[in-house]
Chain A
């Protein structure tokens, strides 16, 4: 009734006055809408509703029983996001640990109403929802792939010398990792190594002369290494991880590559969480073999030498097998192989 009184034309107004009045009303509505849509509150609501929508599609029973009837108060929407992340994490998917919210894989429904201590008031709730925005808009479970940027990888010169060793050795092969000059990579890495670790610098400087032959059959080499362990660690996994040759998205796709892709992420509505969880578990295994072997190679010069020797022997074995399989082929020549 009141609305009708407000919008009804004044009996004395002219058509022009009525037009002006209508235009003013439209302008006012537009401003009110803009103000509302371009607000933190609006963004928070949309983030929460998106989480609710995903829950409805992917966890229908939880949504129907526990979420559908909740009000759209931001606190409930934050709880909805937390419950969604809890349910996905309960499927085994590892999500980035940068969102300071309370996920509960044991009791996802409890996450609807349990908040981190720092969330005290509505403003905190809106802030928490804002931190979840990127995860919802570009869902990407944790990626384990190795960085391919030289500076951060060798920062401090105390780790990733295994990657450097392999990069240099494979520089001429099909698995070559860097389009840049390998000598530049070596120079940067050596420049990072502190004086007290000069033994490593000397070894790295010699590596360029021991590069693997250009025509080394890398797949066969990888298979050879898959069967080889060194101090309980699978060399195939460590080496494949370095060269992104595992065929696993979470082991082969590095963070910088993902960055180049614009963090497009995955589709919350379509991905199979169980498959993602399994791939992540396998990628973690590759990472562990690399990580543990690197911890040895980067700290003990004698291990650096031993791994180099084991690799050289594996290449000799690979070439021998390759020669048996294809006697007409020219044998690859291995510099440094004994």
Chain B
């Protein structure tokens, strides 16, 4: 039988735990960071974030350690503007 005091202390503990910022399960393992990517629970925006892209690059480097050529699918050229409004896509 749980006493009121015990319930209160449990609730206090839960509250305390909730104040701790969420941490990845294992920061040394990039694959762990990518789990939501495979589960389909990560958003595309998050998947394109530098942290996830770095984790992807680390995994690919591990799997294709020579030079990674052909595998760096998410390499990007940053800073390129979108198509100018002078050439709008039909219907948009």
Contact = CB atoms under 8 A, between A and B. Distances in A.
Interface of A: 3, 29-30, 32-34, 36-38, 41, 45-47, 49-50, 52-53, 56-62, 67-74, 76-77, 80, 87, 90-91, 105-108, 136-137, 267, 269-270, 273-274
Contacts of B31: 29, 32-33, 36
A37 B89 CA distance: 36
A108 B90 CA distance: 10
Nearest to A74: B40
A49 B76 contact: no
Nearest to A47: B73
Contact of B92 (A38, A47, A53, A108): A108
A29 B29 contact: yes
Interface residues of B, number: 38
Contacts of A30: 62
A60 B82 contact: yes
B91 A107 contact: yes
Nearest to A275: B87
Contacts of B82: 57-61
B83 A273 contact: yes
Interface string B7-36: 000000000000000000110011100101
B91 A90 contact: yes
B1 interface: no
Nearest to A106: B91
A280 B43 CA distance: 36
A37 B56 CA distance: 9
B77 A269 contact: yes
Interface string B61-92: 01110000011011011101011000101111
A49 B47 contact: yes
B44 A68 contact: yes
Nearest to A46: B73
Given A30-B62, A90-B90, A53 B42 contact: no
Given A45-B37, A270-B77, A33 B62 contact: yes
Nearest to A80: B44
Contacts of B70: 137
